[in-house]
Structure 1
Amino acid sequence: MLRRQHATAATLQKYRDAPFDWAAGKTCLHMARFHLRQMGHRPEGLPRIRSAIGARRALDVRGWANVGDMLDTILPRIAPAQMRLGDVAMLDSGDGFGAIVISLGGKVMGWHEGYPGMTALEPIAIAGAWRA
């Protein structure tokens, strides 16, 4: 549990209040990769994604409909009710990619259109969850 606390704190520190920015690599995919590395995982290197079009191409090349399909290749899927601090979830998004968020224990951290930077959110509908 201590590793989960440290990894989640490090991810929060790095991305808190950072605005979502394709060009700067401040996306939910980059946040998830950083977080998983903090948790001791060694996810594959990310393709150089600097736009929504590039992200769609990267998903399509691998046959993934959304980021949930990607997470299925890295982590074991769990029921959202089983989420612990530091686990990874996907929320539906308007662009069809899905939005990766990190569990804070009751809330999740991620980006949302209504906020200028990454923030803690109340997860209304979790589309999928994975044990990190």
Structure 2
Amino acid sequence: MSVNLAMRADATNRTVAEFAARGFDWDGASCIHLARRQAENMGHIVPQMPAFRSRQGALRGLLKTGHRTLETLLDSLFPRIEPARMLVGDIAMLPGEDRRLRAVVIFDGHLSVAGWHEAHPEKLVWIKHMQGDLIAAWRL
């Protein structure tokens, strides 16, 4: 199925609406959950995620998938692209303290990304960014 820009924007809006008022929570509202829902809303069939309720649980779950980092897991599921080539609805990765579980965000098509920010962990926010902040991106 070919996904046009309007469909990509609709999928992104549905994902953001689902998580908008939710604070960051390892048990159902983490960037891993956000990326998975975005992939589903974009029409991808993604493998079931191991349940987790903490950073350590997320790392254990990641190992159960056969990957040591979230980045390599995403590489196994979606084609990696240059951040400058992202379209609305693609996902990207920002640097984080733990290189195994870096922050995953959704691109809006206009130089902002949706995700949880350490300054506002109580809700999903649109974060203005410069292209150089993104360390990886994937086409959904």
Tell me the TM-score normalized by structure 1.
0.92
Aligned 8 A contact 1:67 1:90 in 2: no
- Match of 2:115, as an amino acid? G
Quick check: which one's strand share is greater? 2
Gaps of 5+ in 2: none
Give the Å deviation of 1:53.
0.7
- 1:100 corresponds to 2:104: yes
How many residues of Structure 1 are paired with residues of Structure 2 in the alignment?
A: 131
1:40 aligns with 2:43: yes
| In 1, Cα distance between equivalents of 2:65 and 2:48 | 14
| Alignment pair present for 1:111 and 2:116 | yes
Provide the C-alpha distance between the structure 1 equivalents of 2:98 and 2:24, rounded to a whole number of angstroms. 14
TM-superposition CA deviations, 1:61-115 (whole Å, max 9, x none): 4443321111101100000000110001011111331111000121000011101
| Alignment check: 8 A CA contact 1:17 1:119 kept | no
RMSD value, Cα? 1.3
Tell me the residue number matched to 1:57: 60
Judge which range, 63-72 or 40-49, deviates more.
Answer: 63-72
Name whichever of 50-59 and 74-83 sits farther off.
Answer: 50-59
**Structure 1 portions without partners, runs of 5+:** none
Q: What is the aligned counterpart of 1:86 among 65, 77, 89?
A: 89
TM-score by length of 2: 0.87
**Corresponding position: 1:3 with 2:11:** no
Q: How high is the sequence identity, in percent, across the aligned residues?
A: 37
